[in-house]
Amino acid sequence: MNNIKKIGLTALAGSLVAGSVSAAELSVTGSAGMSYTGGDSKATQGQGWTMGDSITFSASGDVNDIGVTLTMELDGDDSDGGAAAGNEFDNQSIAFDLGDAGTLTFHGHGGSSALGAKDDVMPTANEEPWDIVTGAEAEVVGGAGGNNMFAYSYAHESGLTGTVTYVNAADAVTDVSSTSYGLEFTGMEGLTVGYAQQDVEVTTNAKSDESTMYAKYAIGGITVGIQMSEKDSESGTDYETTGIGISYQVNDDLAVSYGNHEIEAVGAGTPDQEAAAVSFSYTMGSLGIVGTVHDVDHVANSTTNSREKYSLGLSFNF
């Protein structure tokens, strides 16, 4: 009789365990590419050729009516050396889909703050005007994120989306805990407007209040936009930036764009950094070709530092 009871209890326990396990869908995607950059003669850039590659693993399923997605992106480039050596995880996060209540994401690595995700959202076929030119990105207003950061987003049916991110203080990330807020409205056809803000104190007693606002409008294959950002420092130089962009989707495969971005060091008596770029992108199935030419005057608001740089890239998605 005791043996029969043991068998019955064992079977019941097994069924409960089996019933509590939910199946997850696992997907794997990958990309690889190579690019050549030239110009920027005042910076050391080696022979110009570089390779990029990544593999992204994503597992998703429902747990107690909550959608859970785990994503890990492996980037082989960082393991080859340089400042990011050893950081094979390019992105690592777990997202909780709360249905009508929004989405909560924990970014173990690679996440952006609400402001950082909107540092430059002007329409472009490839890169921002200040990108790839050495030193030109130094005073771009972009807040501060870090590893082990929480992000919550809520999208209303009216077209209004709110985002809040929080990163706890840690010497390796930020000396003071930081919260960032963002709002974006897409409720009118073709129109996107948004605002984001963050108080940043990565280094103790080096506090700044950073914010950005932007507007974009798309009609047909043309998208135009303008963005203005500010960085107000308690000690140090304040910065104001203005960016504009226009892109044209020529057809399903080809897009071209022009962008301009200026950075003013308020009251410093130095010239504005002025960056301009022309870009294109062309896709053929999983094959992509991109190119961009950049011209930056007064890099980092210096009177004697102006540079040009160009880049051509080829990518494959699997």
E strand map for 64-147: 66-75, 89-97, 103-109
**Residue 87 domain-assigned?**
yes
Number of domains in the chain: 1
**Residue 140 domain-assigned?**
yes
**Residue 249 domain-assigned?**
yes
Domain span at 182: 24-317
Tokens of 107: 């970014």
**Residue 15 domain-assigned?**
no
**Residue 83 domain-assigned?**
yes
% of the chain exceeding 70 in pLDDT: 86
What count of other Cβ atoms lies within 10 Å of the Cβ of residue 16?
9
In one-letter notation, the amino acid at residue 250 is V
CATH of the domain at 182: 2.40.160.10
Q: What is the pLDDT of residues 264-311, one digit of tens each?
A: 999 999 999 999 999 999 999 999 999 999 999 999 999 999 999 999
Backbone angles phi, psi at 119, to 5 degrees: -60, -35
pTM score of the predicted model:
0.85
Q: What is the pLDDT of residues 26-54, one digit of tens each?
A: 899 999 999 999 887 666 566 789 898 89
Find, among 122, 123, 164, the residue nearest to 145 by Cα.
164
**Residue 131 domain-assigned?**
yes
Helix (H, G, I), strand (E, B) or coil at 67: strand
**Residue 12 domain-assigned?**
no
Q: How far is CA 192 from CA 88, 100, 183, 195, in A?
A: 35, 22, 11, 11
Helix (H, G, I), strand (E, B) or coil at 164: strand
**Residue 293 domain-assigned?**
yes
